[in-house]
Amino acid sequence: MSQDTLFDKVWDLHKVSRLRGGSDQIFIGLHLIHEVTSPQAFGALKDKNLKVKFPDRTVATVDHIVPTDNQSRPFKDNLAEQMIETLENNCLEHKIRFFNIGSGNQGIVHVVAPELGLTQPGMTIACGDSHTSTHGAFGSIAFGIGTSQVRDVLASQTIAMNKLKVRQIWCENKLSNGVYAKDLVLHIINKLGVKAGVGFAYEFAGPAIDALSMEERMTICNMSIEGGARCGYINPDEKTFSYIKNKFCAPKNQHWEKALTWWKSLKSDENSIYDDVIKLDASKVEPTVTWGITPGQSISINQQIPLLDDLSPNDKLVAKEAYEYMSFNPGQSIKDTPVDVCFIGSCTNGRISDLRVAAKVLKDKKVSKNVKAFVVPGSEKVANEAKQEGLDQIFKDSGFQWREPGCSMCLAMNSDKLIGNQVSASSSNRNFKGRQGSPSGRTLLMSPAMVAAAAINGKVSDVREFIN
Amino acid sequence: MKSEFTPPIGKIIQINGQCIALIGNDIDTDRIIPARFLKCVNFDSLGESVFEDDRETLKGKHPFDLEDNKNASILIVNSNFGCGSSREHAPQALMRWGIKAIIGESFADIFYSNCIAIGIPCFTLTKKSIEEIQNYCENKFLFLEIDLKKSSAKSKNLNFNLEIKESSRKMFLSGEWDATSTLLENENLIENKFKQLPYIKFNTN
């Protein structure tokens, strides 16, 4: 049993009761909702004749179904229009703050909450989306929930949950040039496996994590769930505090100092006890690309797709499925694999720093004529900031399409989809079968810089050849 | 799709039914219900779309399409079942197809909580036992009687001690898996907690 970690402190603070079954009743400090997983929850409230208990503790935006080419209303897609209308009506009826398209603050829920300063250390944060772990980058305890639990949070601001174990993932040294947070987290998932995190919260720590910017830390925590961990977090430090300072919803004036004092008390104690500790050397990580159908199936850019004999017995079944689905041969290089579509965006890598890195690679270069490339900023704020810096122009000049904010082809709930068995180089988080909208579409996950490099060459490339 | 769907309510103590085996590790919720079916404001029509793309690929040979399985209600899976997206649409689709309980090597965390929250008990067994059941299902009909009180499953020839989280087992036996009313019993405690949290005070702007 872990003791005195940030996870323990925040969990204990939010514990309302021990329920009769033995699980804990946990208060949710910040509840984020969007159009896909909330309508049925509001429906259930109505059925049970309940109201939203603390409307101020829930914040809404719209992201999954929004079109990225033309966002004028009504949407061309009737079902998408019905979903946004349902959210608008529910927020209006229950007096929930809603950041709609055109508000200047709409975007992917996990991009929006941090940039508004809603996400703060020491909070419990829940959202009907598995990538809620993103917010752990600020030293909050954040996790995805299903629709029935969204209902429970709306009705009671609490959920029933069993306390997680805590595994510290200690990352020594620093990432080398051309290697990014995305590469590190793909590497971690590969080393530990996609189900190692089941039952655990992941604490990411060590010099390599300390050196990361807040946005890079969000990329790491975001993908905790891809390693099976519902929750991932990083102890807050000066970078965390200065990121939050002066944000729209950040504590102001005399409250700021009080907040700061409290936040500083939250981090895991030096002699805290973990259920497990893993150490790895971040300086050994190279640009990493997935070759299969789970985020754990990745290799470094210069490695070959593993042979069946090289894999553990547990990994063989899904590896066989992956070779067949991806049409890759064991032993084949991943480098130079032709790509059809390049996608930069998502809650993993759709922030301003991601766009800056990709734009730097693309400047004065052209996207290969065989590639369809598009960039979807994570939020309206990201889009505006990028425009102010002239990044949109760099993307457009290179041949990338510049789109409106949303989740887009990360999960392809709008019209941005792969066609047939197209191969996509994607800065998103999941390479599952059919994930990007075509039942036979193939996804290679990589960092935004690597997506930019793939777009230029029309094939999987080592971005270090562009930046050194 | 079978006869009209009625969601479970109240105590869940015993589940009897035919098993359906689905072989594969890391079967994610995008495969259970592809994202395009999430464009809905209720769960009603999800049952017919469960595993839509996998079924399409296997052209009638998917376990969920086999005539022999059409009345099955106990799903037998391998490891890390339900990984990926938190979409409750995945267990809702399984439930609306006819699944009432799942036995597997292991489950992803969010999928597991979603199943509990909608009244689908998930049990674990060793890899060896799961493979034994899956092999059995390949050739013959297997009917299991699952007893939540004893955490056991038995048929004429087979007998298993099932693992389930004690908190989940108790919630099914008492009927408190539908958690909202239980949570709301503690309204005073919730109010007190709200007042105690430091950040509520300094986020008043």
Residue B202 pLDDT level (bands cut at 50, 70, 90): confident
Predicted confidence (pLDDT) per residue in A346-378, tens digit: 999 999 999 999 999 999 999 999 999 999 999
Provide, as residue numbers in chain A, all residues whose Cβ is less than 8 Å from the Cβ of B84. Answer: 130, 225-226, 430, 432
Please report the residues numbered 107 through 166 in chain B whose beta carbons come closer than 8 angstroms to any beta carbon of chain A.
Answer: 107-110, 113-114, 117-118, 165-166
* Averaged pLDDT, B103-113: 98
When the pLDDT of each residue in chain A is averaged and rounded to a whole number, the result is 97
Please report the residues numbered 379 through 408 in chain A whose beta carbons come closer than 8 angstroms to any beta carbon of chain B.
Answer: none
Residue A468 pLDDT level (bands cut at 50, 70, 90): low
The predicted pLDDT at position A467 comes to 87
Residue B204 pLDDT level (bands cut at 50, 70, 90): low
- Minimal CA–CA distance to A423: which of A226, A331, A291? A291
How much of chain A, in percent, has pLDDT values that exceed 90?
99
Q: How would you class A100 by CB atoms within 10 Å of its CB: exposed for 0-12, middle for 13-18, buried for 19 or more? A: middle
Inter-chain touch A146–B110, beta carbons under 8 Å: yes
pTM: 0.97
Inter-chain touch B35–A413, beta carbons under 8 Å: yes
Inform me whether the pLDDT recorded for A239 exceeds 90: yes
The predicted pLDDT at position B166 comes to 96
Inter-chain touch B35–A437, beta carbons under 8 Å: yes
Provide, as residue numbers in chain B, all residues whose Cβ is less than 8 Å from the Cβ of A117. Answer: none
Give me the residues paired with residue A167 across strands. A202, A276
The predicted pLDDT at position A285 comes to 98
The predicted pLDDT at position B203 comes to 78
The DSSP string of A28-40 is: -SEEEE-TTTSHH
Inform me whether the pLDDT recorded for B139 exceeds 60: yes
Residue B2 pLDDT level (bands cut at 50, 70, 90): low
Q: How would you class A68 by CB atoms within 10 Å of its CB: exposed for 0-12, middle for 13-18, buried for 19 or more? A: buried
Predicted confidence (pLDDT) per residue in A81-90, tens digit: 999 999 999 9
Residue A32 pLDDT level (bands cut at 50, 70, 90): very high
How much of chain A, in percent, has pLDDT values that exceed 70?
100
Roughly what angle, to the nearest 10 degrees, separates helices A380-388 and A352-362? 40
Please report the residues numbered 49 through 68 in chain B whose beta carbons come closer than 8 angstroms to any beta carbon of chain A.
Answer: 53-54, 56-57
The predicted pLDDT at position A118 comes to 98
Before A74, cis peptide (omega within 30)? yes
3-state SS class at A20:
coil
Interface predicted TM-score (ipTM) of this complex, two decimals: 0.96
Inform me whether the pLDDT recorded for B19 exceeds 60: yes
Q: How far is CA A76 from CA A66, A71, A73, A80, A376, in A?
A: 10, 9, 8, 8, 19
Predicted confidence (pLDDT) per residue in B148-183, tens digit: 999 999 999 899 999 999 999 999 999 999 999 999
Inter-chain touch A255–B183, beta carbons under 8 Å: no
Please report the sign of the dihedral spanned by the C-alpha atoms of residue A147, residue A148, residue A152, residue A155. positive
Query: What is the spatial distance between Cα B24 and Cα A428, in angstroms, rounded to a whole number?
Result: 24
The predicted pLDDT at position B157 comes to 86
